[in-house]
């Protein structure tokens, strides 16, 4: 019997994908569970990854004219009640503050006291409270557009949580804009989806499909919701970003009115759009392997770690001097408008040291020992290759080529993920085949069956609901026409559920 190769993470992806995901987070030192149910502690390695995502996205926002602001964490209950569909969409997830102080109880413990006149909802999203401000800031068409974003924490009281993907508290950005015309608001909605697409594909190396949500999948209260959808390695979809055209619904609810150029009073047209720390979960699941996370270099907390090889105390001074000199030179170099982030790890913990960095997903590991110094070389290992795949490179050559190597890793991760999605995306026009495709052959591992199915849908909520109830499969999006190049991937056909002809082709998948 062939001996199974050792992996840093157990179980492996094939053995138990959900547990593999949890173990990668632990092993890579990204985050840990907190004492508060459903919440997490994001550790420095994970938070730096988030900061890098924030930096790139914030720059993209500002390039489109958006500026940052901040609004209260607490939202009066009456504000949420202004927009019926909106409050209904979030009602079951709201955390509510009802008291404003604590007092000692009869047994000496603390008990809530001082009931609030009006309960406060801990921010599940901010459309209503930002709308209140917009209603005071807008009086004329000259006050428009308003283009704002806030970086904030959000609380949605989830029953079933999973770190980064779905937690009771998470970090995100939420953009909110108000416009004088419908066309301008629609243009902004599309523009921000393009920004998210660029972040996902160019920085996270995450191929995405852009499209519209069905009415049942839209943001509560929105007229239209656009999203980007990515395939994870268990072939489930992850909604990686959304942009919402809110029409005049929230403007009417919040009384955001302005005097037009024709001197008529009109309601503003608004949008909202957001991504969250679930992107980190996406990076783990789309790029990780059985040895840990693999980080795209453009957002990695650090780009390279130098690992001095010191076998006796006499070698230490020379090896460390060489390593520190190399680190100094590398830190002067820029990689995509940021200085290279270089770690030096000289801990005396044997082979465990290298494995720690493998599990943390750092793009490049550089071993430096006396023999390498004698040859003025470094021993280079790339995280997108096998852990034993190492090559000796002359020091100066490495210095000159390091940014190109990082770009190659970035490109390889994207192409690998894109190839995987293509291999697991199929056209299905037969109902029986569709049901078989999404029905797990092994009931003990339902998470590793299926993929993306490009099938036709008649547009009825009844057909959509039946498929979701029968298979746990949802319509991820109605893809934009330019998302696929093969005619067969976009041509109309019979509804996969009821066989109504001339139905549009959509993306079906199980999803997070």
What pLDDT does residue 178 have?
98
Give the integer Cα–Cα distance in Å for 38 and 168. 5
> Mind listing the pLDDT tens digit for each residue in 150-182?
999 999 998 889 999 999 999 999 999 999 999
Mean pLDDT calculated for residue range 99-125:
95
Give the integer Cα–Cα distance in Å for 47 and 154. 16
Q: Which of 226, 253, 287 is the last residue of a domain?
A: 287
Give the pairing of strands 265-267 and 269-276.
Answer: unpaired
Give the integer Cα–Cα distance in Å for 203 and 279. 11
Asked if residue 416 and residue 438 are part of one domain, the reply reads: no
* Helices 17-27/278-287 angle, 10° precision: 110
- 509 sits in which H/E element: strand 504-509
Read off the pTM: 0.95
93 in helix, strand or coil? Answer: helix
CATH number at residue 475: 3.30.110.30
> Mind listing the pLDDT tens digit for each residue in 230-283?
999 999 999 999 999 999 999 999 999 999 999 999 999 999 999 999 999 999
Asked if residue 272 and residue 317 are part of one domain, the reply reads: no
Res 1 pLDDT > 50: no
End-to-end CA distance of the chain: 37
Structure tokens at 228: 């980007």
Asked if residue 434 and residue 412 are part of one domain, the reply reads: no
Query: Is residue 193 included in any domain, yes or no?
Result: yes
Asked if residue 490 and residue 356 are part of one domain, the reply reads: no
Given the structure tokens 């914030």, which residue do they identify? Answer: 58
Asked if residue 205 and residue 319 are part of one domain, the reply reads: no
Q: Which of 386, 421, 456 is the last residue of a domain?
A: 421
Res 402 pLDDT > 80: yes
Res 3 pLDDT > 50: no
Mean pLDDT calculated for residue range 40-47:
98
> Mind listing the pLDDT tens digit for each residue in 426-484?
999 999 999 999 997 766 665 556 899 999 999 999 999 999 999 999 999 999 988 98
Query: Is residue 441 included in any domain, yes or no?
Result: yes
Asked if residue 58 and residue 172 are part of one domain, the reply reads: yes
Structure tokens at 43: 């550790």
What pLDDT does residue 445 have?
61
Mean pLDDT calculated for residue range 62-70:
98
Show the domain range for 274: 17-75+124-287
Asked if residue 163 and residue 37 are part of one domain, the reply reads: yes
Give the integer Cα–Cα distance in Å for 196 and 200. 6
Query: Is residue 182 included in any domain, yes or no?
Result: yes
Give the count of domains, the chain: 3
DSSP 311: S
Asked if residue 412 and residue 429 are part of one domain, the reply reads: no
What pLDDT does residue 444 have?
64
What pLDDT does residue 446 have?
56
Query: Is residue 277 included in any domain, yes or no?
Result: yes
Identify the sign of the CA torsion 165, 166, 172, 173: positive
Whether 179 contacts 268, CB under 8 Å: yes
167 in helix, strand or coil? Answer: coil
Average pLDDT, the chain: 95
Query: Is residue 112 included in any domain, yes or no?
Result: no
Q: Which of 260, 287, 314 is the last residue of a domain?
A: 287
Asked if residue 204 and residue 172 are part of one domain, the reply reads: yes
Query: Is residue 106 included in any domain, yes or no?
Result: no
Residue 271, exposed/middle/buried by CB under 10 A (0-12, 13-18, 19+)? buried
CATH number at residue 162: 3.30.930.10
Query: Is residue 295 included in any domain, yes or no?
Result: no
What pLDDT does residue 263 have?
93
pLDDT confidence bin for 2, thresholds 50/70/90: very low
Asked if residue 400 and residue 332 are part of one domain, the reply reads: yes
Res 77 pLDDT > 90: yes
Mean pLDDT calculated for residue range 122-143:
97
CATH number at residue 329: 3.40.50.800
Whether 36 contacts 168, CB under 8 Å: yes
Mean pLDDT calculated for residue range 478-494:
89
Asked if residue 194 and residue 53 are part of one domain, the reply reads: yes
> Mind listing the pLDDT tens digit for each residue in 342-385?
999 999 988 899 999 999 999 999 999 999 999 999 999 999 99
Structure tokens at 477: 């999006």
Asked if residue 140 and residue 34 are part of one domain, the reply reads: yes
Query: Is residue 315 included in any domain, yes or no?
Result: yes
């Amino acid at each position: 019997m062939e001996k199974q190769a050792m992996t840093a993470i157990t179980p492996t992806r094939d053995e138990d994908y959900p547990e593999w995901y949890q173990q990668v987070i632990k092993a890579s030192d990204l985050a840990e569970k907190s004492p508060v149910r459903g919440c997490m502690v994001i550790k420095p390695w994970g938070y730096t990854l988030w900061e890098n995502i924030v930096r790139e996205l914030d720059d993209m926002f500002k390039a489109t004219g958006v500026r940052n602001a901040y609004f209260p964490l607490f939202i009066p209950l009456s504000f949420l009640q202004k927009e019926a569909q909106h409050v209904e969409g979030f009602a079951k997830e709201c955390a509510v503050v009802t008291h404003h102080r604590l007092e000692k109880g009869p047994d000496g413990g603390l008990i809530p006291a001082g009931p609030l006149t009006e309960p406060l909802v801990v921010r599940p999203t901010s459309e209503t409270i930002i709308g209140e401000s917009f209603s005071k800031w807008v009086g004329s068409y000259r006050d428009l557009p308003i283009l704002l974003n806030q970086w904030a924490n959000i609380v949605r009281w989830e029953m079933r949580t999973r770190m980064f993907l779905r937690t009771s508290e998470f970090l995100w950005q939420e953009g909110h804009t108000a416009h004088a015309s419908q066309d301008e608001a629609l243009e902004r909605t599309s523009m921000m989806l393009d920004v998210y697409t660029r972040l996902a594909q160019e920085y996270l190396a995450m191929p995405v499909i852009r499209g519209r949500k069905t009415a049942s999948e839209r943001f509560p209260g929105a007229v239209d919701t656009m999203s980007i959808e990515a395939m994870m390695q268990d072939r489930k979809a992850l909604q990686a970003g959304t942009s919402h055209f809110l029409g005049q619904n929230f403007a009417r609810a919040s009384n955001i009115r302005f005097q037009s150029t024709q001197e008529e009073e009109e309601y503003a047209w608004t949008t909202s759009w957001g991504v969250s720390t679930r992107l980190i979960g996406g990076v783990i699941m789309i790029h990780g392997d059985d040895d840990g996370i693999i980080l795209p270099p453009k957002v990695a907390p650090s780009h390279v770690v130098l690992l001095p090889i010191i076998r006796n105390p006499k070698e230490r001074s020379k090896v460390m001097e060489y390593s520190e000199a190399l680190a100094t030179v590398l830190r002067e170099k820029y990689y995509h408008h940021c200085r290279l982030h270089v770690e030096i790890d000289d801990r005396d913990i044997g082979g465990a040291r290298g494995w720690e960095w493998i599990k943390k997903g750092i793009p490049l590991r550089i071993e430096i020992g006396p023999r390498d110094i004698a040859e003025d070389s470094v021993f280079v290992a790339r995280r997108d290759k096998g852990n034993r795949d190492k090559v000796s490179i002359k020091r100066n050559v490495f210095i000159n080529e390091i940014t190109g190597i990082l770009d190659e890793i970035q490109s390889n991760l994207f192409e690998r993920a894109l190839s995987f999605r293509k291999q697991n995306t199929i056209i299905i026009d037969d109902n029986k085949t569709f049901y078989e495709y999404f029905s797990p052959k092994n009931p003990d591992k339902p998470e590793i069956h299926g993929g993306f199915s490009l099938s036709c849908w008649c547009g009825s909520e009844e057909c959509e609901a039946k498929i979701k109830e029968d298979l746990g499969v949802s319509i991820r999006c109605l893809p934009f026409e330019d998302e696929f190049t093969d005619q067969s991937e976009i041509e109309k056909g019979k509804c996969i559920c009821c066989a109504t002809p001339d139905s549009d082709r959509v993306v079906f998948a199980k999803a997070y």
